[in-house]
Amino acid sequence: MARMQPELRKQELIEIAFRQFLQQGYHKTSIRSIVGEAKGEIGMFYHHFSSKEEIFHEVLEQYNKQYINKVKNLIAKENKTPILELMELVFSDLEDSLYEYAHMNRGAVNKQMLTLLHQQTLLTLKPVFCDLLKERILRGEIALPEVDIGLLTDFLLYGISAVLHDQDEKNIKAKEQAIRLLMIKMLEC
């Protein structure tokens, strides 16, 4: 049997781990179950990763990159869609992503790592949303007083994130409605 290239094998382990973390959560996923599904040996795993936490970190980073690419593609595809409708499309996809992300993180041991990955996602999304706002201002779709677009983007992204992650309010639809009303007011749409 031909050996798989190391980078392909590593990616296969990441994809298997992603699927298992998503289905079973962090705690119930084991290195043995990942390797077993890959039809490999424990040594193969340790050739690529030092621990379950390391592969979990890699899974989350790839998950976040995929989400950011999805947002970029959605914004590019829906170029002519009014800003509020576009944001609703982003939010509807975000609801599914948040569910998957929360399910995958059940039992995760390092909450600080999850927080850092979330912050990295927001930082990576910032230029995407800055460009979006600048474009929509130039089109005349958004009317703003003179304001620093970077600060406005921070306020939107971090504010939206705070509302979405609020543990007191469980209803995602109520959260989306509150965000929509605030955006209408802020962006004068």
Spell out the domain ranges in the chain.
53-187
Position 43 scores a pLDDT of 94
Question: How far apart are the C-alpha atoms of 174 and 184, rounded to whole Å?
Answer: 15
Of residues 139 and 111, which shows the higher confidence score? 139
| Amino acid, single-letter form, for residue 19 | R
Question: Residue 1 pLDDT > 50, yes or no?
Answer: no
Position 42 scores a pLDDT of 95
Please provide the CATH number assigned to the domain covering 53-187.
1.10.357
Name the percent of the chain lying above pLDDT 90: 29
Average pLDDT over residues 63-68: 85
Question: How far apart are the C-alpha atoms of 136 and 180, rounded to whole Å?
Answer: 17
Position 185 scores a pLDDT of 78
Question: How far apart are the C-alpha atoms of 93 and 74, rounded to whole Å?
Answer: 10
